[in-house]
Amino acid sequence: MRRPLIGLAILTLILGTLAACGAPADTAASGAVQAGCTTARPLPAGDTDRSIVVGGRERSYLLHVPPGYRPTERTPLVLMFHGLGGDPRTVLESTEMGVMADKANAILAVPLGRGKPSQWHFRSPTSNPRSDLAFVRALVKQLKKDACVDSSRTYAAGFSNGSALTLALACDASTQFAAYAAVSGPYYEPQCAEAPPASIVYFHGTADTTVPFKGANTVIGHLPPVNDIMSQWAKHDRCPSDGATTRATSTVRHFAWAGCEDGTSVEIYAVVGGVHGWPGGGPMSPGRTSRTKDSPVDATALIWKFFAQHPAGGQ
């Protein structure tokens, strides 16, 4: 995959940050580091198809373990959610999230949605034991048993329908992550006001016709305008108005709110003329072509940078 202009220059800056999360030099920058696991939790490197039973249903996921994983060393964990009709292996290949996970020495879990086409029911509450939010909560709990996970560096990312699920997770305190990355699927509801502040980086193409930037009724329900949704998140995080910055080129508009409550931040990358897809990535579901591979934005690199900068307790 060709690495787009925005993101290429930062790759070398971010790969060591997540990988070195247990090193003393990183502690001062990102807060306290968890002690290692007293009991070894070995896992085979590479991709493994796994499943758990949640609410009486068997749910599957793909687990990607980096070759540098050590059974007693706390390791970052990233959950990645596909879009409508997607699947774990297509997501891994098209986004290169697995490649980045290997370089950053992070564990990557890619769950599969329900139904045909596969999808996420992101509006169902966690109190419903069969809901997707309950599945994610149970999956994180299981992964922390199976692997030596750094709880302060557990993250969620998603595309389209999976993006909405990712932001729904940010609305739910019971599935707290250190930071969230969402692509082409905005979400904010009144109940989000009860959730703690959340660090979020968001990407969307201004020419997206599947999930229009200015909002519309979509196959996954009504989604409001991107600017309205992300402004709601900035308000939710109590971001100061003087902490907002804007950088714009002919191809990308970057909006950022810094200095928000609990050290959180909110960022938006609006790709001018960008369509529905993963910026800098391949097709996000089987049998489709990508119109975003040549995007000026590399969403994968920018997401890993954002995660590296936002551990829990120092978001």
Q: How far apart are CA 149 and CA 29, in angstroms?
A: 20
Q: Give pLDDT, residue 267.
A: 98
CATH superfamily of 5-15+42-308: Alpha/Beta hydrolase fold, catalytic domain (3.40.50.1820)
Please state, in angstroms and rounded to a whole number, the distance separating the CA atoms of residues 145 and 140. Answer: 9
Query: Is pLDDT above 60 for 38?
Result: yes
Q: Tell me how far apart the alpha carbons of residues 127 and 79 are, in angstroms, rounded to a whole number.
A: 21
Percent of the chain clearing pLDDT 90 (strictly above): 75
The pLDDT value given to residue 8: 40
Instruction: State the CB neighbour count (10 A cutoff) for residue 259.
Output: 14
**pLDDT score of 25:** 31
Q: Are 147 and 77 within 8 A, CB to CB?
A: yes
In 3-state terms, what secondary structure has residue 167?
A: helix
| Per-residue confidence (pLDDT) for residue 289, from 0 to 100 | 76
How many of the other CB atoms lie within 10 Å of CB of 60?
Answer: 14
Q: Residue written as tokens 């305008």?
A: 225
Answer left, alpha or beta for residue 207, where phi above 0 means left and psi between -120 and 50 means alpha.
alpha
Does 22 score more than 80 pLDDT?
A: no
List pLDDT tens digits, range 214-257. 998 888 788 889 999 999 999 999 999 888 999 999 999 999 99
pLDDT at 17 over 60: no
At residue 217, φ and ψ (nearest 5 deg) are -80, 130
Query: Contact 47/63 with Cβ under 8 angstroms?
Result: yes
Residue 3 has pLDDT above 90, yes or no: no
Q: What pLDDT digit, counting tens, does each position of 99-133 carry?
A: 999 999 999 999 999 999 999 999 887 788 899 99
Q: Which of 228, 288, 274 is nearest to 255 (CA)?
A: 228
For residues 29 and 35, the model is more confident at 35
Averaged confidence pLDDT in the chain: 89
Burial 266-296 (b: 16+ CB within 10 A, else e): bbbbbbeebbbbbbbbbbbbeeeebebbebb
d(Cα 101, Cα 55) in Å, to the nearest integer?
Answer: 30
pLDDT above 70 (res 90)? yes
Segment 189-206 mean pLDDT: 95
Q: Which pTM was predicted?
A: 0.89
Quick one: which of 205, 188, 223 has its CA closest to 291? 205
Nearest to 33 by CA among 78, 77, 79, 74: 74
CA-wise closest residue to 187 among 171, 176, 203: 171
Mean pLDDT for the stretch of residues 63-78:
98
Over the stretch 124-164, which tens digit does the pLDDT of each residue have?
877 888 999 999 999 999 999 999 999 999 999 999 999 99
> What integer is the mean pLDDT of 187-216?
95
> What are the beta bridge partners of residue 297?
6
Domain ranges in the chain are 5-15+42-308
Above 50 in pLDDT, residue 15?
no
